[in-house]
Chains A and B, each alone.
Chain A
Amino acid sequence: MAVIITEQIEKIYNPDKVPVHALRGVDLEIDEGEFTAIVGPSGSGKTTLLNIIGGLDTPTKGKVYIAGTDISTLSGNGMINFRKDHIGFIFQSYNLIPVLTARENVEFIMMLQKKSKKERDQRANELLDAVGLHDKKNKRPMELSGGQQQRVAVARALASKPSFILADEPTANLDSQSTADLLDMMAELNREEGMTFVFSTHDQRVIDRARRVITLIDGKIAKDEVR
């Protein structure tokens, strides 16, 4: 079953001045449980596509369906709430809340979902165990290495029990060992819990692990390869 469907997505920046066509009619379906990489050269539209799928940006034309919902019909706060419950994000720069500990960062989104303290504690501990950071749960982001911060970001993305996780260049700032560890962990979550991952990446190590690779060139899908 498809969790993400895009229909003829177009994105034009500065339409009234110097139009820049970032996406030119992207049709895409991503099913539950996929481990998909969106690749392409810089400026090909990878991040724009991810932002539109994640509801952070709106398409100039076309529709996006997430778990059956047409997200173009959602208002500002409606979209924020939808994102909170359905989409997990992992960013290139980790983007943890600097003043909160690892555990609090993971709990934060559950707090926004109004989960009980008990439930939040339990899930945060489970997730931090799963990403191998149980002993670092009371550390703040600046006390963790880049790889550890990205693991916390993964735990945070999973905390809300989203329909899928969007990861924008998640390994860009990591060394080889951290990248390998992170990919192992995400592959395991995908395999064992069926969590859907969609990456935008340049990183060959990520591309090598993906089971589906979608190549974007000049805002169009040039190649869609299932391995």
Chain B
Amino acid sequence: MLLTLALRNIWRNKRRTLITITAVAFAVFLASIMRSFNKGAWDNVINTSVNLFFGYAQIHANGFWDDQTIDNSMDYQEVVRSLDPSNDHILGYAPRLESFALASTGDLTQGVMIVGIEPDQEEALTGVSDKIIEGNYLDASDDGALLAKGVADKLKLGLGDTLILISQGYHGANAAGKYPVRGIFKYALPDLNKVLIYLSLKTSQHFYAADNRITSVALKIAGQRQVDKAVNSLKENLDPEVYEVMDYKELMPELMQARQLDEGGDYIVMGILYALIAFAIFGTIIMMTQERMYEFGILTAIGLGRWQLFAVTILEIITVGLLGALVGIIIAIPVVYNWSVNPLDLSMMGEEATAAFEKFGMEPLIPAAFEAPIFINQAILIFIITCILGIFPLSKILTLNPVKAMRS
């Protein structure tokens, strides 16, 4: 009957209930949209970065990340043997031999980053062939080079021209070679576009005198949510003395910091939204409590315990709060879903916006994240807020003097 009492009390003052539900629903709707877009946008940035080059996780020889020299490379076959084929989270991998070299042609030179790749595996991970603007992609036995457009422009190289590379190879060996330019690709990230050169893995190993050596294995994982499981599984299987396994958060710390900074700002805005919700609910609580002191006095007089009275009151408040949250979520779900399958197109904001996105290899689209936790968290927050605000009626009820209350 306490539940009946609570529900009927909610229905008793329809206008107040409606105003509170509307206020909570509106704020929850806005918060859901905002959170979905923020998460969706950042997930998109991360996915783009991951698919562009890094992969969701990488395996290196222990210590490579802090000291990225070819001497900290690892045996390709041993790493592959160590990978657990039953790890369902890992969809594929791409071995790489990465180091630096001096590129030269005529009297021009440029410091470059050489990445030796297995063309098919790299294609499956990062889709390099899509970025080629001239020439062809490599095959496994190719002895040519793919140049980023920035490198080609700097060295004034075109298809069929010869690129000269000089570097230090594995364990101090001299490294020098001539490679025909097979293709030119355009990389979205300006920093990579100025320095990146792809060779086939075999060619790069030969160049660096590092037969069967690689510096990293980039992993293809189903999605962000599976990364932790995949990485933990790898860490359990690989000897930590020999290998280090890093996820995209460790590989791209600046990006993660930028996300945290951006989300920090969003949390402030959301805090303001929730403060508005809290005020709406608190207003209801004050009205509900003050106008019913007389009734509280009666109920206490006839034998309703103070905690039972509090239970009725808090049940009313929580029900109204959660109803508002539910309405807000129900309205937000189709809107967020629509924006998750039809991302917000920023190209309508003009060429500058489009160019800003394209600069980083992204389409000018912001998808909303359509994930249950975003909506569930709103309900949890409303529940917590109402529980905290319940302190007000609790204090009133615990100090209630029935005689005074019945005189009010």
Find out whether the CB atom of B403 lies under 8 angstroms from the CB atom of A56: yes
What separation, in Å, do the CA atoms of A81 and B302 have in the docked complex? 9
Summarize B's interface: helix, strand, loop or mixed: helix
Interfacial chain B residues near A80, Cβ < 8 Å:
300, 303-306
Cα distance A98–B298 in the bound complex, in angstroms? 11
Q: Are A98 and B305 interface neighbours, CB within 8 A?
A: no
Q: B interface, how many residues as a size bin?
A: 20 to 34
Interface residue from A57, A84, A85, A112 paired with B403 (Cβ < 8 Å): A57
Task: Indicate whether A222 reaches chain B with its CB closer than 8 angstroms.
Answer: no
Contact check: which of A76, A100, A107 meets B306 at CB < 8 Å? A76
Measured in the bound complex, the distance between the Cα atoms of B12 and A84 in whole Å is 26
Name which of A31-39, A89-97, A184-192, A194-202 contacts chain B.
Answer: A89-97
List the interface of chain A (C-beta within 8 A of B).
Answer: 51, 54, 56-57, 76-77, 80-81, 83-85, 89, 91, 95, 97-100, 104, 107-109, 111-113, 156, 160
Closest-CB distance, A118 to chain B (whole angstroms): 15
Known contacts A56-B301, A80-B300, A84-B303; is A97 also within 8 Å of B403 by CB?
no
Inside 8 A of A112's CB, which chain B residues have their CB?
A: 303-305, 308
Q: Which of B1-17 contact A (CB under 8 A)?
A: 1, 4-5, 8-9, 11-12
- Give the one of A77, A84, A89, A99 with max B CB within 10 A: A99
CB-CB under 8 A from A51, the residues of chain B are 403
A-B residue pairs in contact (CB < 8 Å), sample of 23: A51-B403, A56-B403, A76-B306, A77-B306, A80-B306, A85-B303, A89-B301, A89-B302, A91-B406, A95-B406, A97-B295, A97-B299, A98-B295, A99-B5, A99-B11, A100-B4, A104-B1, A104-B4, A107-B1, A109-B302, A109-B303, A111-B1, A112-B304
Q: How far is the CA of A89 from the CA of B402 in the complex (A)?
A: 13
Q: Does A98 contact B302, Cβ atoms closer than 8 Å?
A: no
B302 and A100 contacting across the interface, CB-CB below 8 Å? no
Specify which of B5, B9, B303 lies most central, judged by the most chain A CB atoms within 10 Å of its CB: B303
Do A83 and B301 touch (CB < 8 A)? yes
Q: How far is the CA of A142 from the CA of B364 in the complex (A)?
A: 62
Residues of B within 8 A of A100 (CB): 1, 4-5, 8
11 more A-B residue pairs beyond the given contacts A83-B301, A112-B305, with a C-beta to C-beta distance below 8 A? A56-B402, A77-B307, A80-B303, A83-B303, A89-B301, A91-B298, A95-B298, A95-B406, A97-B295, A99-B11, A112-B308
